[in-house]
Amino acid sequence: MELNRRTVIAGAAAAGMAATTLGGTAHATGGRKPLKTLFGKLADGTKVHRWSLENGGTRLKVLSWGGVVQSLEIPDRRGRYANVSAGFDNLEDYVAKTPYFGALIGRYGNRIGKGKFTLDGKNYQLSVNDGEQSLHGGAQGFDKRVWDVEPFVKGSDVGLHLYYTSVDGEMGYPGTLKTKVTYTLTRHGDWRIDYEATTDKATVVNLTSHVYWNLAGEGSGTIEDHELQIAASRYTPTDAGLIPTGELAKVAGTPFDFSRAKPIGRDIRTSHPQLVTAKGFDHNWVLDKGITARPEHVATLRDPASGRTLKIATNEPGLQFYSGNFLDGTLTGPSGRTYRQGDALCLETQHFPDSPNKPKFPSTVLRPGQTYRTTTIHSFGC
């Protein structure tokens, strides 16, 4: 029987287990002002800071470099905390090696085929950085920019406003895009992300977060025993370049059926052609709810051993599930352990990959006078 999260947090605090870098204990209602420390310097001398936040029993550390979630700690069913987000303990590895660990992704999350699209009769060539494709905004996407960060405490919430302006033509995208992303820790320990953007010229936008999750704890090994449920009856099959073919295929009767919770490892090594091509799961699920005015629950991830759970709610129409297929043992996390294939996974709320080239997919076009807004909420339990 799972314990109530508040009971677990209260027990941890009473035992002195909730002390943090903020100099206090976790509270079920209200957090302290985020703490800013120097994390490192770029080659040109630019300072990169780390912000530490805590609220409702969740501890979050965020870098101004790429808006990266460097650490996210939550308790297990016994009140023991662990960082459940893969990453590094130094700036140099984030700059030189990272496969988007914990990063804010833009201008366009996921892939655009051959880095090309046409908008209002004009052809655009984007930065190509994944074979023939443009991936996550190109070679110098939002994950490789220093964001301006403004901390806040509002009522019982605590968080950060992150700002970045992408100039017209950056990575080939049209329009100057002014972006604001808000990370909020609520009094219940939820981590909420609110994305906003405006442009002075018609463009395409698809922002997301690229946290690599392992609910057993960073560096603890495989996620194949994690149980995953996704509220989607269709997904978008891909070609050899992992670009959607345009088909919205049914998941029923295939390894892609997560409509009921099941262990990730149950079907991951089957001979389904889509799994062979991607070396595992690296696909967009078409959420049954579609685009909604408010965030709705779309996925649940659970680690049976620790009891930790993650529930995701969003107003986006898609969810990219990536099972860490290309982790190859060459990267080392803060635990001192290497990350190997399947040691972490991503659940990226989004519009569909290659939407600018797929007229039947929901549009990702943003025009002057419009405001791009999406929200994703991560709720943790044990």
274 residue type, one letter:
Q
Q: How far is the C-alpha of 285 from the C-alpha of 154, rounded, in Å? A: 35
What is the reported pLDDT for 5? 52
What is the reported pLDDT for 32? 84
What is the reported pLDDT for 38? 98
User: What is the Cα 381 distance to its own chain's centre?
Assistant: 18
Q: How far is the C-alpha of 323 from the C-alpha of 213, rounded, in Å? A: 10
Q: How far is the C-alpha of 342 from the C-alpha of 214, rounded, in Å? A: 10
- The radius of gyration of the chain from alpha carbons, rounded to an integer in Å, stands at 20
Q: How far is the C-alpha of 252 from the C-alpha of 273, rounded, in Å? A: 16
- Per-10-residue mean pLDDT for the chain, 382 residues long? 48 39 38 92 98 97 98 97 98 97 98 98 98 97 98 97 98 98 98 98 98 98 98 98 98 98 98 97 98 98 98 98 97 97 98 98 98 98 92
The reply to whether the predicted model has a pTM over 0.85 is yes
- Taking Cα atoms as reference points, which of 311, 333, 335 lies closest to residue 324? 333
Q: What is the pLDDT of residues 265-308, one digit of tens each?
A: 999 999 999 999 999 999 999 999 999 999 999 999 999 999 99
How far CA 198 is from CA of 107, 116, 177, 180, in Å, comes to 12, 22, 6, 9
Q: How far is the C-alpha of 100 from the C-alpha of 107, rounded, in Å? A: 14
Which positions are annotated as active-site residues?
Answer: 210, 348
